[in-house]
Amino acid sequence: MRLHIFVEGLVQGVGFRAYTKRIADSYGLNGWVRNLPDGRVEIVVEGDNELLGHFIRDILKGPPAARVDKVEIIKEYSDEPIHTFDIRY
């Protein structure tokens, strides 16, 4: 399962991308995270459904300095797997 996630709130300049990578790595999930010009954070993540549920729970919390106001989650299917989790700039 692959999810495309958009996170709104105070999510840039607060370590959100590094936090996302740590969480994804801890669950063995693959994908990427990046800041968007409009202030949101974009995440593409794939892996086991149960682990993705834990990942989303942690993303809703965010790192201590962040404030998550809204999360949009889109389920996607792809025949090209991602093999790592990266921070994109």
> Could you give the residue numbers annotated as active site?
17, 35
DSSP string, 55-86: HHHHHHH--TT-EEEEEEEEEE--SS---SEE
Q: Name residues whose C-beta falls within 8 Å of residue 80's C-beta, 6 or more positions apart in sequence.
A: none
Residue 79 token pair: 């025949």
Whole-angstrom Cα Rg for the chain: 12
